[in-house]
Chain A
Amino acid sequence: MSLRTPLGRVLGLGTAKDGTDHFVAQRISAIAMVLLGGWFMYSMFTIESMAYLEVMRFVAAPLNSVLLSLLCITGAYHSYLGVQVVIEDYVHAHGVKLLSLIASRFAHVFLAVACVYAILRIGFTA
């Protein structure tokens, strides 16, 4: 028989108490992604061709470099927030959940940095 009080047993098992930040960040990044994603799809629709020089020219144009960087950073952030919820909802084993969250965070930061590095490199070499 456990001597722990009912209160002692449930403490720490409730909500994380910090969900509001996640909720707001998810929606603000969503608003940004509507604009950036819309711009990106429009750009991919209107770009002359997918030939190497054409893509270089597109990425290297200053405004495109800035918007593409924002798309990658905001996209990675928005994606991290979404994947985080999926992991928290569906991975129940504590250790696997924690490792998945860390792996997801690493992967998303890696992708964002890789994108921005590539964009800068194209911009400065084109």
Chain B
Amino acid sequence: MSLGLIFLAVWLMQTAAGPEQYQYFRAAMGSPLGKILLIGWTFAFFLHLGNGIRHFVWDTGRGFEKSQANASAWAALVMAIALTAGFWVLRF
């Protein structure tokens, strides 16, 4: 997630630097490695979101039974995969 922050900063700075600089960035993001990084970062975001919500629930003192914790772990993983797939399939 912290690497995503660096990525966000580079995106904004390259945009602010003008169209020529931005083209370099866009070309890098369009390359296979760039696409893998973007998809990976999207997945990391949704997984972090899901697990963050699990922590919010735990903070209320609920969901600590082993079966519940296992179920919510799987729910977060499945949700992250579904949202990532949905994001990229529907986007393009």
Chain A interfacial positions (CB closer than 8 Å to B): 27, 30, 33-34, 37-38, 41, 45, 50, 52, 55-56, 59, 68, 71-72, 75-76, 79, 82-83, 108, 111, 114-115, 117-119, 121-122, 125
- Report A-chain residues with C-beta under 8 Å of the C-beta of B13: 114-115, 117-118
Give Cα A86 to B59, complex, Å: 20
> Total interface residues on B, using CB and 8 Å?
26
Give Cα A45 to B83, complex, Å: 11
Binding site secondary structure of chain A:
helix
CB pair B49–A34 under 8 Å, yes or no, is yes
CB pair B2–A72 under 8 Å, yes or no, is no
Query: B56 within 8 Å of A by Cβ?
Result: yes
Can you list 17 pairs linking A and B with CB atoms under 8 Å apart?
Answer: A27-B59, A37-B49, A38-B49, A41-B42, A45-B90, A55-B15, A59-B15, A72-B8, A79-B5, A82-B1, A114-B9, A115-B9, A115-B12, A117-B13, A119-B16, A122-B16, A125-B16
Chain B interfacial positions (CB closer than 8 Å to A): 1-2, 5-6, 8-9, 12-13, 15-16, 19, 22-23, 26, 29, 42, 45, 49, 52-53, 55-56, 59, 87, 90-91
